[in-house]
Amino acid sequence: MELHDIKEHLQNHFSDGLVVIVGSGLSCGEGIPGMGDLAKHLIDEVPKSIQGDDEEPWSEVASLLENGEDLESVLLKVKLSESLEVSVLDATHAFILFHEAKVIKEVVSEGRTLKFSRLLDHLLKPNSGLPVITTNYDRLIEIATEAKGFAVNNLSTGKYFGSFEPRESRFSMCRNIRRKGKLAHLEYTDFVTVLKPHGSVDWFLVNDEPMFSSIIHDARKLMITPGVNKFRGGYDRPFDTHREIANKEIDKASRYLIIGYGFNDEHLQVHLEQQLNNGKPAVILTHSISDNTREYIANRENIWTIVSRKDDPGFKLIIGKKEFEFNDLNIWDLGIFVEEVLE
């Protein structure tokens, strides 16, 4: 397959009905460390805030992590008490905020343009909003969107002490009302609907109510950490609302752009895989893929996977059981993809 034909196919993929799904790979590419670094941070920080009955299970967690097991597998093995979960949440929250702040500073003070900002120029923005589904806790998508001059619908109202109101949040995107005869036509600004089924660093529980806030720090954090509580917490507000709307968007989409997502989330997997099994086209951009993902895509030619060549420059294109390799063009990276394919 010729590179020209690949680029033409990828360009044509950016049409009506596109849903974007973003995993941790994009945040890692922007400077927020991944699960391995988070595990090291938790080993150092969690012991500072625990005592008594929590010390033994955390010692088991730390030992498994130090022996090289990944964070999600370990937290599935070891049941954490509620107080220990809070300690893990607090340490995770602080870790993300610290690294997110570095990226924000570079955007605000040093003129840095995030990769997702560059992508937005090439995505159609329907009147109903461009749906972007992310399992990330950070706000880089929101920042990249607003830095580009587009609005963000995060299903909430307010900035400082906001509540989760999907209907009101959507109507806040309305910029004008035009009358056509007796009918009123709502005109919306270009906006991105960011759906976060795992929560966000600006979600909190205040007086037993979920809140969105850019200034609160000391309340209970609403983030679903890897492990057992990932499945339990996903059915509470506002996680359930974000998950349900995300699944609806996945079901009605005509195509998918999947960036740095590892196909390891039970909350989204059922709907996404069902649609891919039905033949809907997808483009995956990722640095690397797991054995499970490779096995899944091997039987589906509707999925084009663009992945790095590990230690060599260039990319590998996987379509079903066929693989094509190209040197010196790292289009698995979103920034280079935009530059080389879309611009």
pLDDT value of position 233: 53
Partners of 184 in the β-ladder: 179
How far is the CA of 40 from the CAs of 49, 62, 66, 199, in angstroms? 16, 9, 8, 22
In sequence order, the 6+-apart residues with CB closer than 8 A to the CB of 318 are 294, 297, 298, 304, 305, 306, 307
pLDDT value of position 231: 45
Instruction: Please calculate the CA angle 226-263-253 and round it to the nearest 5 degrees.
Output: 120
Per-residue pLDDT of the chain (343 residues; tens, 9 = 90+): 899 999 999 999 999 999 999 999 999 999 999 999 999 999 999 999 999 999 999 999 999 999 999 998 899 899 889 899 999 999 999 999 999 999 999 999 999 999 999 999 999 999 899 999 999 999 999 999 999 999 999 999 988 999 999 999 999 999 999 888 888 888 999 999 999 999 999 999 999 999 999 999 889 999 988 765 554 555 588 999 999 999 999 999 999 999 999 887 777 789 999 999 999 999 999 999 988 888 889 989 999 999 999 888 999 999 999 999 999 899 999 999 999 999 9
Structure tokens at 211: 């809140």
221 burial level (CB within 10 Å; 0-12, 13-18, 19+) = buried
Number of helices (H), then strands (E), in the chain: 14, 16
189 and 127 in contact (C-beta within 8 Å)? no
243 and 267 in contact (C-beta within 8 Å)? yes
Report the distance separating Cα 276 and Cα 260, nearest Å: 17
Following DSSP, what letter does each residue of 106-160 receive, concatenated? HHHHS----HHHHHHTTS---TT-EEEEE---S-HHHHHHHHTT-EEE-SEE-SS
Partners of 163 in the β-ladder: 157
How far is the CA of 210 from the CAs of 82, 163, 206, 241, in angstroms? 18, 7, 6, 12
pTM of the model: 0.94
**Among 104, 119, 124, 113, which residue's Cα sits nearest to residue 258?**
119
pLDDT value of position 69: 93
Report the distance separating Cα 159 and Cα 141, nearest Å: 17
pLDDT value of position 228: 54
